[in-house]
Amino acid sequence: MNEIGLMHILVISTSLFFIGVYGFLTRRNMISMLMSVELILNAVNLNFVAFNKFLYPGQLSGLFFIIFNIAIAAAEAAVAIAIIINLYRNHRSIDINDATTMKF
Amino acid sequence: MSASTVIFYILAAVIIGGGMLAVTERKIFRSAVYLLFSLVGIAGLYFYLNYEFLGAVQIVVYVGGIVVLIIFSIFLTVESGSDMKNPNFIRALFSVLAAVFATSLVLWILKAHTFVASTTEALEPSTRNIGRQMLSTGEHGYILPFEVVSILLLAAMIGCIVIAMKLKPKA
């Protein structure tokens, strides 16, 4: 267990992923849920780095995946926050249980 | 234990601890700050694995961009000092069970699986190599996704402005 290898990083990313899932399931506040999603995305990025570094060092594919992932995550966070702010303006609340206008 | 191992375990503790506090803390502003710690720890792990460019991108985009955006939106919407509601006990119990069960399942599969490393010569993830490959039109070039992402960012920017714009009632 002395040399840091693939398994160590996979264990970290697995734990981080399911911490994010736990947060996503328990939190009812939209901003907190967005934060949990960011944790999940980061866990996935960590996986890409680990596989690129330890299994396929001859290519940079994992690294490019992460760069594009980060760009898309930034776009996603910006759109989500715009929606949350607009929702707050209309409902005075960002609790997920209060956003029932479009519920069938 | 060598110094590098100690650094790795410190980074792991920062990442996992920050993540756990971020999803359990009841004050939302503190939760955002713990998220910041977790993201900085991940950037540190990228530096640790010699992916310096990626670590820099992580700090610039996540720490400098997304977390600041989240904190701004916290200030704009909820009262940042007040506690959030405690999660429903049944829901929290089943979420913990699901997370623990899934984590152990994944770890069990990982333990049983043997990964086969490719034996090709290592390509150094230097900024020079990244830049050449990113803008190359040949094989292993990423110019098309690069352009597509730039269009996506433009679309997201316009979309955000349109969504968050306050319409003035016509006089």
CATH number (domain holding residue A46): 1.10.287.3510
Residue A101 within a domain = no
Among the three residues B84, B106, B135, which one is the final residue of a domain in this structure? B84
Residue B138 within a domain = yes
Looking at residue B80, its pLDDT comes to: 65
Q: Say what the pTM is.
A: 0.90
- Which domain does A44 fall in, by range? 6-91
Domains: count for chain A: 1
Is a pLDDT exceeding 80 seen at residue B115? yes
Q: Are B28 and A32 in contact (CB under 8 A)?
A: yes
Q: What is the pLDDT of residues A5-23, one digit of tens each?
A: 889 999 999 999 999 999 9
**What is the Cα–Cα distance from B153 to B94, expressed in whole angstroms?**
37
Q: Please, which residues have CB within 8 angstroms of residue A69's CB and are 6 or more apart in sequence? A: A41, A44, A45, A48
Residue A19 within a domain = yes
Looking at residue B12, its pLDDT comes to: 95
When pLDDT is averaged across residues B9-20 and rounded to a whole number, the result is: 95
Tell if the CB–CB gap between B152 and A72 is shorter than 8 Å: yes
CA angle B61/B67/B72 to nearest 5° reads 125
Tell if the CB–CB gap between B51 and A81 is shorter than 8 Å: no
Percent of chain B with pLDDT over 70: 98
Q: What is the pLDDT of residues A22-43, one digit of tens each?
A: 999 998 888 999 999 999 999 9
Q: Best of A3, A11, A60, A87 to disrupt the B interface by mutation (most B CBs within 10 Å)? A: A60
Residue A49 within a domain = yes
Domains: count for chain B: 2
**What is the Cα–Cα distance from A5 to A53, expressed in whole angstroms?**
10
Is a pLDDT exceeding 90 seen at residue B105? yes
Residue A97 within a domain = no
